[in-house]
Structure 1
Amino acid sequence: MSFKELLKEKILSYGTYFDDDVLEAGLQKFKTIKLNAGDHLINSGDVISELFIAEKSISRAYRISENGEEQTLWIEPEMSFLTDMESFRRGTTNQMNVQLYEDSDVMYIEREDLVELYAKHHQWSLFGISLAEEYLIYVFKITNMMFANDATSNYQLIAQYYPRFLDIVPLKHIASRLNVTPITISRIRNDKQKKK
């Protein structure tokens, strides 16, 4: 399946009905770039005016703490919409970096083009509403999970729902996301292997 077809499938997965010509009008607004593993989609200090989607790469958002350490804010699987929502929506300076773990084509749409689609086609507006609602649900769910569970439970959820993360994402980034040390993650992995 081509990247454009995958994008179309992803957009339709939000439950919005589209007339073929209206969907195609929006798909034509997306541009494609190629990025390598380690490249950044978003850099701290920039104003973000794009909504991205990486075809084949897991990505992570992180910020640099006051003591100079990277703090992982989120890790997302391939074919996830990516942006700094506050910067994208309000035109403010972005406070995080978004980095790819793998070589990938990336499609993006400029905010100006997306807003134009919202204004011209209610189907695209409904997609935007669904995207925002799903994002809020996801953030709420993840926040609750992170606070309600211990590190072992959160690691097991990653292993269950995102097993590729464990093969691709460096241990220190998973640990940072779970707000534990890499040593804690190593212990969790070792305990899991002993139980097998």
Structure 2
Amino acid sequence: MRAKKIEILKNEGIDSIYRLACRHVEISGAEWEQCRGMFASAFFSRKQMLVNRGEVCGKIFFVASGLLRIYFTDEKGEEKTFHFCMENTFATDYESFLKGVPSSFSIQAVEDSVVLLVSREMLESLYSLLGEGQKLGRLIAEDYFFILNEKIKSIYVNSPMERYKAMNMRFPNLLQRVPQYHIASYLNISPVHLSRLKLAERENSPNG
């Protein structure tokens, strides 16, 4: 990807972060002008690793363009997809990032991706520059908790079809962007079961 295109996506990503932050707290134009110059960007090609399990996750990644996958490897050596991060969403191992401990997860680019990078030091600076920075940090942490809670609840409470429908609501067009075995892993089902769910949905649709 050309440098000019990356720079455009970087600036668009910074604007997206500003809009997302403003949903939680009030941020003046003057405050944000002090913050926007702190953001750096990076390009990751398809299948490239952003974080490997066992490394300290020293960054929060904001997806300006592309798609990331957060996963872990079980005792059998099989990869289990925990979450997908599409455009205008964040990706990190929050515990590793905050505590400086080895990450339990790996983060990989599923597509060519441009991300904005937020270090721990930069995050602290953002909190101090913004009048409601501490409140913003607390609300971001709450959002991360809700993602974890929703994932755990879906596995133990929801049926595979309910998980499948919720995934399609949360991640539009994911089926066209991600290999089916990653999606099956995310839903905690086999690829064969995923094929059956897709067929059942088509048969039950008004145009099926």
TM-score with structure 1 setting the length? 0.91
2:27, 2:131 within 8 Å by CA — same for their partners in 1?
no
Residue among 49, 52, 59 paired with 1:50: 59
- Give yes or no for the alignment of 1:32 onto 2:36: no
Report the equivalent of 1:11. 21
Q: Separation in 1 of the partners of 2:145 and 2:72?
A: 21
Report the equivalent of 2:105. 96
Report the equivalent of 1:146. 155
1:48, 1:83 within 8 Å by CA — same for their partners in 2?
yes
Question: Which structure 1 segments of 5+ residues have no match?
Answer: none
Amino acid aligned to 1:147: Y
- Give yes or no for the alignment of 1:60 onto 2:69: yes
Q: CA deviation at 1:182?
A: 0.7
What secondary structure sits across from 1:115 in the alignment?
helix
Residue among 68, 80, 83 paired with 1:71: 80
Aligned pairs, number: 195
Alignment root-mean-square deviation, CA: 1.7
Report the equivalent of 1:87. 96
Q: CA deviation at 1:51?
A: 1.1
1:52, 1:106 within 8 Å by CA — same for their partners in 2?
yes
Residue among 162, 184, 187 paired with 2:171: 162
Amino acid aligned to 2:15: E
Residue among 25, 29, 32 paired with 1:20: 29
Percent identical among aligned pairs is 26
1:44, 1:95 within 8 Å by CA — same for their partners in 2?
yes
Q: Separation in 2 of the partners of 1:120 and 1:11?
A: 14
1:60, 1:98 within 8 Å by CA — same for their partners in 2?
yes
